[in-house]
Amino acid sequence: MRHHRILPALASAGLVSLLGFIPSQAGPGQQRPAFDPLFAGGASCTPARPGRPVLLASLLQARQAPLQQSYPTETRPFRPGQALPAAGDNAPPPLYKDLGKLHMPVTTSSPQAQAYFDQGLRLTFAFNHAEAQRAFRAAARIDPDCAMCHWGEALALGPNINAPMFPDAAAPAHAAAQKALQLSSRARPREQALIRAVAQRYADTAVEDRAHLDKAYADAMAEAARAYPADDTIQVLYAESLMDLAP
Summarised one tens digit per residue, pLDDT across range 176-188 is 999 999 999 999 9
Kindly report the pTM of this predicted structure: 0.68
Summarised one tens digit per residue, pLDDT across range 73-120 is 444 445 554 444 544 456 789 999 999 999 999 999 999 999 999 999
SS3 annotation, the chain: CHHHHHHHHHHHHHHHHHHHHCCCCCCCCCCCCCCCHHHCCCCCCCCCCCCCCCHHHHHHHHHHHHHHHHCCCCCCCCCHHHHCCCCCCCCCCCCCCCCCCCCCCCCCCCHHHHHHHHHHHHHHHCCCHHHHHHHHHHHHHHCCCCHHHHHHHHHHCCCECCECCCHHHHHHHHHHHHHHHHHHHHCCHHHHHHHHHHHCCCCCCCCCCCHHHHHHHHHHHHHHHHHCCCCHHHHHHHHHHHHCCCC
